[in-house]
A and B are shown apart, each in its own frame.
Chain A
Amino acid sequence: MIVKVVINLEIRFNEPALTVKEHASRRRRSPLWQRFRRNKLAVLGATIVLILVLLAIFAPILSPYPYQEANFGATYQDPSFAHWFGTDSLGRDMLTRILWGMRNAFTVGFGAEVVELTLGLLLGAVAGYMGGLTDNVLMRFVDIVYAFPSLLFSIILIVLLGHSILTILIAVAATSWVGMARVVRSQVIKIRQTGYIEAARGMGASTWTIIRRQVLPNSMGPIVVAVSFGIPANMTIEAGLSVLGLGIQPPTPDLGELIIEGQQAVFSYPYLLIGPTVIFALALIGFVFLGDGFRDIFNTKSKR
């Protein structure tokens, strides 16, 4: 016993003393951020996503040409300094179209995720926390939405509501929120059984306060992971609808539409295909790296 204490003391004393500055910096940095920074791929992913999002936001300023401007004197130009990704069948600059297409993809990707998050948090937290009949009814509802042929449902919604970016956003979110609701519910159920929830209830906190102040903040990890995998999934659906010709209508450029145009010209002008697909793939990969990094940080084994 005594020996143990002595050894402990020794170990303490042998530790190099921290300078004041080091001490301060250790305190300031949260361990989450440090763990994130150590994961090289996650930082790479975050960088890719950040750059592409900035490019998309500033597309109106950055794009070298107006996206709808046709130039019949310069159709099917190979990539050059004037047109980094070449020009298409109407002489429109591909770089411009890709930038604007990304803008749509990100708008739908982030926007639909916000809708999903709101619905998922609300229903998932209520179902998980209340349990019993409420849980049963809500989860059967979620199961039924799960049984929907999701893409077909989105297509019918778009035919119903029209082809604007807002309706596409709604159509994408309408079927994918159930995944988020399931993640939130399973987290909430796990946390509900912990001691501190019991303590809060014992101290007289209302259900709503407990959900808001204890349950949700503590279930953030898997939710953040689900969000970072959900955004690229939404972008995929958005571009997929465009591949079917049901996305945002021309002349507004869209990545899916660019991919289809490239695919149709694949034998004669393969560069039309390479530009949009590589950029799109890069954006998606950025999100995967980021999501994987988050998964490591929060040390969750969430199913995608």
Chain B
Amino acid sequence: MLKYLARRIFFMIVAFFAVSLVTFLLMKSVPGTFLTINMAMNNMSSAADTLGISDQLMTSLTQHFHLNSPWYVQYWFYVSGFLTSHMGNSFEFPDIPTLSLIERTFPISFSLAFLAVAVSSILAVLLGIIAAMRENTWVDSSTMFVAMLGTTIPSYLVAVFLMLIFGVWLHILPILGINGPQYYVLPVMSLALPIVSSTSRYMRNSVIESLHSEYIVTVYAKGGSAKHVLFGHAMKNSLLPFITVVGPQLAGLMMGTVLIESLFGIPGMGSIFVNAAQQRDYPLIMDSTLLYCLVILLMNLFVDLLYGVLDPRIRRTGYSS
């Protein structure tokens, strides 16, 4: 267990540095710097003001961001800044520390993703169990047909349909911005529904598999009720395959929030990143990519450890594979 954990964490560190290095090198090779772009599109952003500054300030800024240093010095400037949470300011928002920018936007993105996971897991487990209990009836087939439709419809299309139905035709939910709990409903639903459709199918199949196994017959023979069978035995054993499917979706979900935020006009990490990428705002690109990468790696680690919690066999024999 400890050995496994150590190996996983070592891999995480390697992956983190690989991602940061590739991002940095790509970012550096993008033609045009922040300052030249702002010169071309004059007054596009608040930071264009920096163009009116004296040469002295310019050189000190260049020095501060290590823009004339060799690439590895610059690279370490960003990464160490991120790791010690002394990120400083970005080009685009010179008067707001990047850390407070992230503090303001990251909770929104993360709560969207987290709520989506929660909602989709509950729905998928429920739908999967209902379909499995009514195996090969119209309930089963219609649930699974809808699930199949949902597997490739991306979250932004679902979002657009939900906006049309609940915002425009029914007028019951707001479709823009984030200003209270009811603003979360549509974004979370549009993130959750595509996942529900793909995962509920796996839940159904694994519940059916457990229901047909021999120990379930034993439970019935000993006088167990259907409720007892389902919640005491079948469900517990079906959750492991379910989590192996939900796990990889988490990373995709973090990416999905980027699109959903831009559709619903939500000021989250996604909109910050897209803006930063278009503006060549190096510090902000690095910090937001590294944050996303860290979240994805931690989520994957959490899921892997969760397997052990749910399946004592994995815990006992070690996480070998």
Distance from A135 Cβ to chain B, minimum over Cβ atoms (Å): 13
Q: Is the CB of B157 within 8 A of A157?
A: no
Chain A residues touching B, range: 35 or more
22 pairs, A vs B, C-beta closer than 8 Å: A143-B11, A144-B15, A147-B16, A147-B18, A147-B296, A148-B19, A149-B19, A149-B251, A149-B293, A150-B255, A156-B27, A156-B289, A160-B27, A160-B30, A244-B258, A244-B274, A246-B274, A263-B263, A277-B157, A287-B152, A288-B149, A304-B198
- The A-contacting residues of B in range 1-36, CB under 8 angstroms, are 11, 14-16, 18-19, 22-23, 26-27, 29-31
Is there a chain B Cβ closer than 8 Å to A284's Cβ?
Answer: yes
Q: Which secondary structure dominates chain B's binding surface?
A: helix
- Give the contacting residue for A147; candidates B167, B288, B300; CB below 8 A: B300
Q: Is the CB of A288 within 8 A of B293?
A: no
Residues of A close to B154: CB separation below 8 A: 236, 239-240, 284
- The A-contacting residues of B in range 259-278, CB under 8 angstroms, are 259, 262-263, 273-274, 277-278
Q: Is the CB of A284 within 8 A of B152?
A: yes
- Give the contacting residue for B160; candidates A159, A232, A244, A259; CB below 8 A: A259
Q: How far is the CA of A270 from the CA of B163 in the complex (A)?
A: 11
Q: Is the CB of B152 within 8 A of A232?
A: yes
Residue of B nearest to A154 (CB): B255
- Give the contacting residue for A292; candidates B148, B168, B198; CB below 8 A: B148
Q: Is the CB of A267 within 8 A of B168?
A: yes
Distance from A175 Cβ to chain B, minimum over Cβ atoms (Å): 10
- Give the contacting residue for B157; candidates A148, A259, A267; CB below 8 A: A259
Q: How far is the CA of A100 from the CA of B18 in the complex (A)?
A: 38
The winner among A143, A239, A263 for most chain B CB atoms within 10 A is A263
Distance from A176 Cβ to chain B, minimum over Cβ atoms (Å): 11
Distance from B90 Cβ to chain A, minimum over Cβ atoms (Å): 16
Closest 6 CB pairs of A and B: A149-B292, A151-B255, A147-B15, A284-B152, A236-B154, A160-B30
Residues of B close to A140: CB separation below 8 A: 11
- Give the contacting residue for A243; candidates B148, B262, B289; CB below 8 A: B262
Q: Is the CB of A156 within 8 A of B259?
A: no
Q: How far is the CA of A270 from the CA of B165 in the complex (A)?
A: 11
- Give the contacting residue for A155; candidates B22, B245, B274, B296; CB below 8 A: B274
Is there a chain B Cβ closer than 8 Å to A285's Cβ?
Answer: yes
